[in-house]
Structure 1
Amino acid sequence: MDEVCEVVITAPDPDWLVEFARRLVEDRLCAAGHNFQTIRSIYRWQGEIYDRSEGRVALHTRLALVPQIIERTTREHPYEVPCVVALPIADGNPEYLSWVRSETVSSPRR
């Protein structure tokens, strides 16, 4: 699968998230991570409403690598149920999309 997508992950510690994204780039699971140091998240968890600052990263990767990113995030993330969502990229700069493909592993590791 050569489709490219954007994977969004949030975390309570923006610095942890930057380092996590760096490890994903080093391991070629994504080509780039665009970090937003602070966002405001409002959510319901276990019957209570929370209003907290979090970090957010947008990763550019191959759709085929999303399961590995989800597994890794679930294993290493401080939250019990981390936010990891993949969004389709309908179109974009052909050279950039080609670069994303060239900087990521071509098939998931088994």
Structure 2
Amino acid sequence: MPTAYITAPRDDAQELADRLVTERHAACVNALECRSVYRWDDDVVRDDEAVLFAKTTDAAWDDLVAFVEAEHPYDVPCIERFDESFVEPGFEAWVGESVE
């Protein structure tokens, strides 16, 4: 069961999280506020962002990535995949039932 690590502007994060769940790309999304520092177009940028942890399935992974790439406001969104070595079996079953 993979978890997607996604960063987004705070103003866009809630809608992105809501749509990931309502459109069944993810069973659950946790959103945490953060302060990011990164290089873009040769400048150092400091932004208030949100980190989204989206719980999904192997079968839904490619659709989740395609959705985020299409709907994210950044030209190059941060999308990383974490593959868990352990997931509580009941939680894993719930995720599988919640994602198409």
TM-score, normalised on structure 2? 0.91
Distance 1:21 1:49, change over 3 A: same
Q: What letter is aligned with 2:98?
A: E
C-alpha deviation, 1:90, in angstroms: 0.9
1:42 aligns with 2:37: yes
What is the alpha-carbon root mean square deviation over aligned residues? 1.2
Aligned-residue identity in percent: 30
* Cα distance in 2 between the residues matched to 1:32 and 1:93: 15
Give the counterpart of 1:23 among 6, 19, 23. Answer: 19
Deviations 1:31-81 (A, max 9, x none): 000111x20111111211112110111000002222211111111111110
What secondary structure, in the 3-state scheme, does the structure 1 residue paired with 2:59 have?
Answer: helix
* Cα distance in 2 between the residues matched to 1:15 and 1:63: 29
The correspondence of residues 12-91 of structure 1 with structure 2, limited to 5 A, is 12=9, 14-36=10-32, 38-91=33-86
Q: What letter is aligned with 2:61?
A: V
User: What residue is the counterpart of 1:108 in the other structure?
Assistant: none
Give the counterpart of 2:8 among 2, 8, 11. Answer: 11
C-alpha deviation, 1:93, in angstroms: 1.0
TM-score, normalised on structure 1? 0.84
Structure 1 residue runs of 4 or more that deviate by more than 2 Å after TM superposition: none
Number of aligned pairs? 100
* Cα distance in 2 between the residues matched to 1:90 and 1:97: 12
